[in-house]
Amino acid sequence: MSRKEKNINRIIFIVLAILAVIVMVPVVMMVLGSFKTQAEASQFNLALPTEFHPENYLYVLKKGKILNGYKNSLLITIPAAFFSIIFGALAGIVLSRRQTKLTESIYYYFIFGLTITLQTASTFALFKVLNIYGTFFSIICLFVAIRLPFTVMTFSSFVKSVPRDIDEAAIIDGCSFLQMVFRVLLPVMKPILVTNIVVSAIDIWNNFMIPLFFFGSSKKWTVSLTIYNFFGQYSREWQYVFGALTLTILPMLILFLFLQKYIVEGMVAGAVKG
């Protein structure tokens, strides 16, 4: 690298570093604010707290029902991600490996689903008619249905790059179809599997709309809803709001830092495949 180029890179670094600090300002304000007194927290600045109040968190944990929110979010995210991936993989593999008129039409039927938007009123009616309104089951089914077009599409396009010889070898060795998929194909397709796990989990976990529309009872609220409601109740006591927000964000940020490679690659690959 030439001297001139090095200097340019240094200037770019300084500009980007300043930008990065600005990007982080909201998060810094939140973490600092969560340790402040009510008066200091509602001044909304980046000053360090003059008195340190970690007990704010105890209050939030007791009153905020954040842990209950976590439990509910997990109860929805894990089964919804799991079933959308398993059903999507099975369908994607069959649709891609069997090239018939029928499979082609079914493939496009799923692809059309990528642009379907949430039909609030009639989904509500459907849940009522099936008598499952307000249950975890109904929400999980809805998430699976919404995620399926993406999983079907990604698995179906990825399995094309897996040689058919592998399938044939597995069958000759006496595998059934399901054994072939779960013991042979899915392990080979690990990259797209990881992509789908990451994209589905983040998408379902962060979704605010569906639990808001279709959960009547606050006992079943997910983290996002719990936090929104907590803010509504405590909008004057920002030290608690900041504490609740930190408790919501922190686990996700830690998870993100550890799984960063998979998350970034997964989401980007997902977007490019989508």
Partner 1 sequence: MRKKSVYPYWALLPALLIFTLFAVVPLIGSLIFSFSDWNISRFYTPQFRGITNYISLLSDSVFLHSLWNTFLFAVCTTALKTAAGLALALLLVRRIPANNLLRTVFYAPCVLSVTVVGVLFKAILSKTGLLNNALTAIGIMSTTDWLAHYGTAMGAVVLIESWMWAGFNMFIFISGLQAVPKDYYEYASIEGASAREKFRYVTLPLIVPSFTVVITLGISGGLKVFDIIYVITNGGPGFDTQVLSTYVYQSFSLGYLGESAAGSVILCLIVTLVSFLLNKLLVNKEVEA
Q: Is 213 in contact with 63 (CB distance < 8 Å)? A: no
Q: Does 182 bind partner 1 (CB under 8 A)?
A: no
Chain position carrying tokens 């639990």: 211
Q: Does 9 bind partner 1 (CB under 8 A)?
A: yes
- Candidates 68, 70, 82, 113: give the one binding partner 1 (CB under 8 A): 113
Residue window 197-216: x/- pattern of binding to partner 1, with contact defined by CB under 8 A: -----x--xx-xx--xx---
Residues 234-273 touching partner 1, rule: CB under 8 A, are 238, 241-242, 245, 248-249, 252-253, 256-257, 260, 263-264, 267-268, 271-272
**Nearest approach, Cβ of 219 to partner 1 (angstroms)?**
18
Q: How far apart are the first and last CA of the chain?
A: 38
Q: Is 38 in contact with 239 (CB distance < 8 Å)? A: yes
Residue span binding partner 1 (CB under 8 A) among the ranges 19-27, 52-60, 186-194: 19-27
Residue span binding partner 1 (CB under 8 A) among the ranges 39-47, 48-56, 57-65, 187-195: 39-47
In whole angstroms, give the CA distance from residue 116 to residue 121: 14
- Candidates 52, 108, 137, 228: give the one binding partner 1 (CB under 8 A): 228
Q: Does 161 bind partner 1 (CB under 8 A)?
A: no
Residue window 78-97: x/- pattern of binding to partner 1, with contact defined by CB under 8 A: -----x---xx-xx-xxx-x
**Nearest approach, Cβ of 1 to partner 1 (angstroms)?**
7
**Nearest approach, Cβ of 108 to partner 1 (angstroms)?**
12
In whole angstroms, give the CA distance from residue 241 to residue 146: 32
**Nearest approach, Cβ of 48 to partner 1 (angstroms)?**
15
Based on CB atoms, which residue is closest to partner 1, 3 or 23? 23
